[in-house]
Structure 1
Amino acid sequence: MNTIAVILINYNSAKYTIDCIKSIWDKTSSDLDYEIIVVDNKSEMDDLKLIDSFINEEKKSNLKLIKSQINTGFGGGNMIGAQVANAKYLAFINNDSIFINDCLSLLYNAMEANENYGVCGPKAYKEDGSILPTLDHYASLSKEFLGRSLLEKINPEKYPNRKKNYINHQKGQFVSGSFMMLRAIDFWNVGGFDTNIFLYHEETDLCKRINSLNKYSYLIPEAEFIHYHGASTPKSIAIKTELKLSQLYVIRKHYGYFKFKFLLTFFQLKYFFSSIFKPKYWSLFFVLIKGAHLSDSLKQKQTTK
C-alpha cells in the first residue's frame, strides 16, 4: 500500500496535467511512497493522445492513466480514481497546479500528527504570486446574503479571514477542491464525493460530511503551490448555471427544503431582472424558473461520442 494516492482529472488540458505531474515528481521527497492516478474525463482525441503518450513514454509504475468513456465531472472523475487507489491518504489535486515545495510530505506529516485534521490543503498562490484562499465557508443563506467579508467581521472564529496570510495551521469550514488531502478511510466512511454534483460545491459537501466524524478542515501554510485558477474550466453561462444548480442542491441536502426554496426564489427574481439587461442570462433564468432540477445539469448532456 502507498502512503498517498494523488488523483488528477484531465479534461482537454493535457499540457497542464503534464506540468503538474512533473512538479510533483520534482518537489516530492523520494522517501514518500505515492502513486499518481490520472483520470481522463473523455477529452478530445488530440488531448488524450498527448497525455497517453507522455505516460507511456515515462513508464513509471506509480503513474497510471484511466480513460473514462464519458465526462463524469469533478466528483465522478475523482471517484473513478479513488476506487483504484491503494493508499492510506487520498490527495485530490486540480491538474492546473504546480508544486512550490514538497506539499505531499508536509500535509502528510501534519495529518499524521493530528488525528482531528480531517481534510487539509496547502497555501495557494495565483500565477502573479498573490494569495488564493484555501479555506472557505460552507454554502449557506448567511453566506449568500451577508457575504464572506461581513461574516468574517461578525464572527471571525467561525468564519476565519480567507485572504489572510497565515503562518500557523488554521482551521476553517472547508478546504478548496483545488488541492485537498484526507484519509482514505474517512473518505469512504462518508461515501466519498456525491456524484449527483457534476461541477462545483463538491468540496463543501464532502468537508461538511467529514465534519460529522468530528474531524475538521485545516490550511497547512508551510505547504505551498500555484493554482492557475479557472484554467481547466473556462467561464460560460452553462458553467454559471451549473454553479447555481450545485449550490441549490447542496443547500437543500444540508439545510432542507424551506431554505432551498427561499434561495431559489431569490435567484429567480435576481436573474429575471438581470436577463432584461443581459439577455445571455435568459437560459439560466429558465433553468431556475423550472425549479433548478439536476435534470438540467451538464451531467445529463454527456455522451460517449
Structure 2
Amino acid sequence: MFDIAIILINYNSSELSIDCIKSIYEKTSSKINFQVIITDNCSEKDDYENIKSFCDNSNLPNLKLLKNSVNAGFGCGNMYGFKHSNAKYLAFVNNDTLFLNDCLALLKNELDSNQSIGIAGAQAFKEDHEFLISLDHFASPTREIFGRSFLELINPKKYPKRKKKYNSPVKVNFVPGSFMFVRSDDFVKAGGFDERIFLYYEETDLCLRLAKIKKFAYLIPAAEFIHFHGASTEKSLAIKKELKISLLYIMKKHYGNFGYQTVRWFLLLKYGLSSLFKAKNRPLFSLIWRGAPMSESLQYKQK
C-alpha cells in the first residue's frame, strides 16, 4: 500500500497535466511513498496521445494513466481514479496546479497528528504568486440569499474570513476542489464523490457529508501551490447552466425541498429581473424555471 495516491483528471489540457505531474515529483519528499493516477476524461485524440507519450517515456515511478470512454466529469473521473488506487491517503489535485513546496508531506503530517481533520486543503496562489482564496462556506439558502460577507459578520468563528491570509491551520466549512487531501477510510465512509454531479459543488457535498461523521475541513496554509484558476475549464453558457444545476441539486440533497425552492425562487427573481436588460441571462432563467433538472446536465448530453 502507498502512503498517498494523487489523483488528477486530464481533459484536453495535457500540457497542464504534464507540468502538474512534474511539479508533484519534483517537490514531494523521497520519504513519501506515493502513486500518481491520471484519469483522461475522453480527451481529443492528439491530447490523449500527448499525455500517453509522456507517461510511457517519463520513467517516473508509480505513474498510471487511465482512459474514460466519455467525459465523466469531476466526481466520476476522480472516482474512477480512486478505484484504481491503493493508498492510506488520497490527494485530489486539479491538473491546472503546480506544487510550490512539499505539500503532501505537510498535509499528511497534519492529518497524522489530528484525527478530527477529515479533509485538508493547501494555500493557493495565482501564477504571479498573488494570494488566492482557499476556503469557502457551505452553499446554503442563507449564503445564496445574503452572501458570504453576511455569514462572516454574524458568526466569524463558524465562518472564518475567506480573504484573510492565515499562518496556521484553520477549521473551515470546505476547501476548494483544486486540492483536497483526505484519508481513504474517511472518503469511503462518507461515500466518496456523488457521481450524479457532473461539475461544481462536489467539494461542498463531500465536506458536508464528512462533517456529518465528525470529520472536518481545515486549511493548512504552510502547504502552498499555484492554481491557474479556471484554466482547465472553458467558460460558456453550458458551464453556467451546469453551475445552477449542481447548486440546486445540492440544495435539495442537503436542505430538502424547502431549501431548494427558497433558492430556486430567489434565483428566478434575480435572473428574471436581469433578463429584462441582459438577454444572455434568459436561458439561465428558463433553466431555473424548469427546476434545473439533472437530466439537462452535460453528463447526459454527450455523444
TM-score, normalisation: structure 2 = 0.98
Residue 228 of structure 1: aligned partner: 228
Give, in whole Å, the separation in 2 of the partners of 1:284 and 1:267. Answer: 9
Report the alpha carbon displacement of residue 59 of structure 1 after superposing the two structures with TM: 3.5
SS at match of 1:31: coil
Residue 131 of structure 2: aligned partner: 131
Residue 239 of structure 1: aligned partner: 239
2:254 corresponds to 1:254:
yes
Q: Which moved more, 1:146-155 or 1:29-38?
A: 146-155
SS at match of 1:42: coil
Cα contact 2:9–2:39 (8 A) shared by 1:
yes
Deviations 1:176-195 (A, max 9, x none): 10000000011111110001
Report the alpha carbon displacement of residue 235 of structure 1 after superposing the two structures with TM: 1.3
2:35 corresponds to 1:35:
yes
2:194 corresponds to 1:194:
yes
Q: Which moved more, 1:122-131 or 1:242-251?
A: 122-131
Q: Which moved more, 1:87-96 or 1:286-295?
A: 286-295
Give, in whole Å, the separation in 2 of the partners of 1:36 and 1:123. Answer: 21
Residue 25 of structure 1: aligned partner: 25
Residue 169 of structure 1: aligned partner: 169
1:1-305 equivalent positions in 2, closer than 5 A: 1-303=1-303
Give, in whole Å, the separation in 1 of the partners of 2:175 and 2:94. Answer: 13
Which amino acid letter does the alignment assign opposite residue 156 of structure 2?
P
Give, in whole Å, the separation in 1 of the partners of 2:302 and 2:75. Answer: 15
Which amino acid letter does the alignment assign opposite residue 45 of structure 2?
M
Report the alpha carbon displacement of residue 281 of structure 1 after superposing the two structures with TM: 2.1
Cα contact 2:145–2:266 (8 A) shared by 1:
no
> What is the percent sequence identity of the aligned residues?
54
Q: Which moved more, 1:230-239 or 1:85-94?
A: 230-239
Cα contact 1:35–1:62 (8 A) shared by 2:
yes
Give, in whole Å, the separation in 2 of the partners of 1:146 and 1:110. Answer: 34
Deviations 1:255-290 (A, max 9, x none): 110110121122122222222322222222221111
Give, in whole Å, the separation in 2 of the partners of 1:138 and 1:195. Answer: 19
TM-score, normalisation: structure 1 = 0.97
Which amino acid letter does the alignment assign opposite residue 246 of structure 1?
S
Cα contact 1:20–1:96 (8 A) shared by 2:
yes
Greater than 4 Å deviation, 4+ residue runs:
none
Cα contact 1:89–1:184 (8 A) shared by 2:
yes
Which amino acid letter does the alignment assign opposite residue 229 of structure 2?
H
SS at match of 2:90: strand
Report the alpha carbon displacement of residue 200 of structure 1 after superposing the two structures with TM: 0.3
Q: Which moved more, 1:255-264 or 1:146-155?
A: 146-155
Give, in whole Å, the separation in 2 of the partners of 1:299 and 1:273. Answer: 29
Cα contact 2:41–2:77 (8 A) shared by 1:
yes
Give, in whole Å, the separation in 1 of the partners of 2:218 and 2:90. Answer: 15
Cα contact 2:145–2:263 (8 A) shared by 1:
no
Give, in whole Å, the separation in 2 of the partners of 1:259 and 1:213. Answer: 22
Give, in whole Å, the separation in 1 of the partners of 2:233 and 2:202. Answer: 15
SS at match of 1:247: helix
Which amino acid letter does the alignment assign opposite residue 207 of structure 1?
C
Q: What RMSD over aligned residues (CA atoms) do the two structures have, in Å? A: 1.0
Which amino acid letter does the alignment assign opposite residue 249 of structure 1?
Y
Cα contact 2:37–2:85 (8 A) shared by 1:
yes
Residue segments in structure 2 that go unaligned for 5+ positions in a row: none
Q: Which moved more, 1:273-282 or 1:232-241?
A: 273-282
Report the alpha carbon displacement of residue 120 of structure 1 after superposing the two structures with TM: 0.3
SS at match of 1:177: coil
Report the alpha carbon displacement of residue 123 of structure 1 after superposing the two structures with TM: 0.7
Cα contact 1:237–1:281 (8 A) shared by 2:
no
Give, in whole Å, the separation in 2 of the partners of 1:130 and 1:142. Answer: 30
